[in-house]
């Protein structure tokens, strides 16, 4: 009888232990599940909260429009172009709840498809947007930007803040049909085709185009014909006779050149011939007294003047020919004519060249 009682006691103890273990598992499992759920909800709420802080409304040229969809001010944004941090200006400097601000990306010239990433000061959430045809020609450093993307009409509109629009002309003074530059497909978008006989684009004189003794950058895409009947076809020029001026041209050997003169003359010519009906990107810069010529993203020549040359004049700027001398007309295609009052670096020029060849 005592043996049976002992067995019963053991069984009861085991049952109590099992019951206690079950209760403990249920209790702690509930705590763990609750904690995990709470943590996940907290992370989700935090992420949702950060994502709700702003929304990209769109982009135009070098501006990105950001709406503050949160409850607090946005005053600190970091912007990356293709994963590289860039300098920006926010207008207004603080974007209040519900407001749309403009984020202006500085010191970028060109057209290309890029990845834009914007982060908040928390650095936890990013917004990535594909932006096409970003042109930064409204940068205050740009004084002329003729992209020739109109595709029709007799006006080439300047995208720079200076408003130096160009007018399509023929040496006869009238422009219509084939008797003027023809709109064609270009290196990027549209371009103009010049027949080498009398076509040109005229931009009225403006002080922003004089360049004075300041640093500058001048560039264009061009595709030149090997036309022996044209001695010295101009791509860009602002000059007349022996007066002070400058011109960017292809010499009679087919080499790209720049002449900048006022009593003293500074010239650079490429060793590579460019009158081969192939698209080329030509760039000339002045930094102090040093002139550099770039061809297809690479340095092609360098020289220094004795003094800083001031080639200011009141003549019109012409593209594709010297309208004042009625000579030096360009035979081929010209696209993306840009002048800046800043000397771009070799790295910036290479980046611009490569951006058109993606």
* Confidence class for position 42, pLDDT limits 50, 70, 90: very low
Cis status, amide bond into 92, omega within 30 of 0: yes
The CATH architecture that domain 54-131 belongs to is Sandwich (2.60)
CATH 2.60.120.200 intervals, the chain: 142-355
Q: What is the mean pLDDT of residues 53-72?
A: 78
Mean pLDDT, rounded, of the chain = 80
pLDDT at site 45: 38
Q: What is the mean pLDDT of residues 254-279?
A: 89
pLDDT at site 280: 97
Backbone angles phi, psi at 283, to 5 degrees: -140, 140
Q: Around Cβ 229, how many Cβ atoms within 10 Å?
A: 8
CATH 2.60.40 intervals, the chain: 54-131
3-state helix vs strand vs coil in the chain, percent to 5: 20, 40, 40
pLDDT at site 300: 96
List the beta bridge partners of residue 293.
284, 301
Q: What is the pLDDT of residues 120-152, one digit of tens each?
A: 765 545 666 555 544 567 678 899 999 999 999
Q: Which two tokens stand for residue 203?
A: 């931009």
Q: 142-355: which CATH topology?
A: Jelly Rolls (2.60.120)
Q: What is the rounded CA–CA span in Å between residue 315 and residue 243? A: 10
Rounded CA Rg of the chain: 33
Q: What is the rounded CA–CA span in Å between residue 106 and residue 225? A: 36
DSSP string across 84-122: EEE-EEEESSSB-TT-EEEEEEPS------EEEEEEETT
pLDDT at residue 113 above 70?
no
Q: What is the pLDDT of residues 194-250, one digit of tens each?
A: 988 888 999 999 999 988 889 999 999 999 998 877 777 899 999 887 788 898 999
Q: Which two tokens stand for residue 40?
A: 């996940």
* Confidence class for position 82, pLDDT limits 50, 70, 90: confident
Q: Which two tokens stand for residue 140?
A: 């205050």
Residue labelled with tokens 């970091």: 78
Q: What is the pLDDT of residues 148-175, one digit of tens each?
A: 999 999 999 998 889 999 999 887 666 6
pLDDT at site 331: 92
């Amino acid at each position: 009888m005592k043996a049976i009682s002992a067995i019963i006691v053991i069984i009861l103890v085991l049952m109590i232990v099992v019951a206690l273990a079950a209760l403990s598992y249920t209790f702690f499992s509930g705590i763990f599940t609750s904690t995990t759920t709470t943590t996940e909800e907290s992370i989700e709420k935090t992420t949702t909260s950060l994502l709700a802080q702003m929304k990209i409304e769109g982009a135009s040229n070098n501006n990105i429009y950001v709406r503050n969809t949160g409850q607090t001010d946005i005053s600190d944004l970091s912007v990356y172009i293709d994963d590289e941090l860039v300098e920006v200006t926010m207008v207004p400097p603080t974007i209040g709840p519900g407001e749309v601000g403009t984020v202006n990306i500085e010191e970028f010239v060109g057209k290309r498809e890029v990845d834009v990433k914007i982060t908040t000061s928390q650095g936890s959430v990013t917004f990535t947007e594909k932006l096409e045809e970003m042109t930064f020609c409204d940068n205050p450093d740009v004084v002329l930007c003729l992209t020739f993307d109109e595709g029709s009409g007799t006006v080439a509109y300047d995208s720079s803040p200076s408003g130096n629009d160009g007018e399509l002309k023929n040496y006869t003074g009238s422009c219509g049909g084939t008797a003027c530059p023809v709109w064609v497909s270009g290196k990027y978008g549209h371009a103009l085709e010049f027949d080498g006989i009398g076509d040109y684009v005229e931009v009225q004189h403006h002080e922003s185009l004089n360049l004075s003794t300041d640093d500058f950058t001048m560039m264009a895409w061009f595709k030149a014909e090997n036309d022996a009947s044209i001695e010295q076809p101009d791509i860009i020029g602002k000059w007349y006779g022996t007066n002070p001026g400058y011109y960017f041209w292809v010499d009679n050997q087919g080499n790209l050149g720049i002449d900048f003169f006022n009593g003293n003359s500074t010239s650079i010519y490429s060793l590579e011939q460019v009158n081969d009906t192939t698209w080329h990107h030509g760039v000339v810069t002045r930094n102090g007294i040093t002139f550099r010529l770039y061809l297809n993203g690479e340095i092609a020549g360098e020289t220094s003047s004795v003094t800083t040359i001031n080639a200011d004049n009141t003549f019109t700027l012409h593209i594709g020919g010297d309208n004042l001398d009625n000579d030096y007309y360009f035979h081929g295609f010209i696209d993306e004519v840009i002048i800046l009052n800043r000397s771009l670096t070799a790295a910036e020029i290479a980046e611009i060249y490569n951006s058109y060849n993606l």
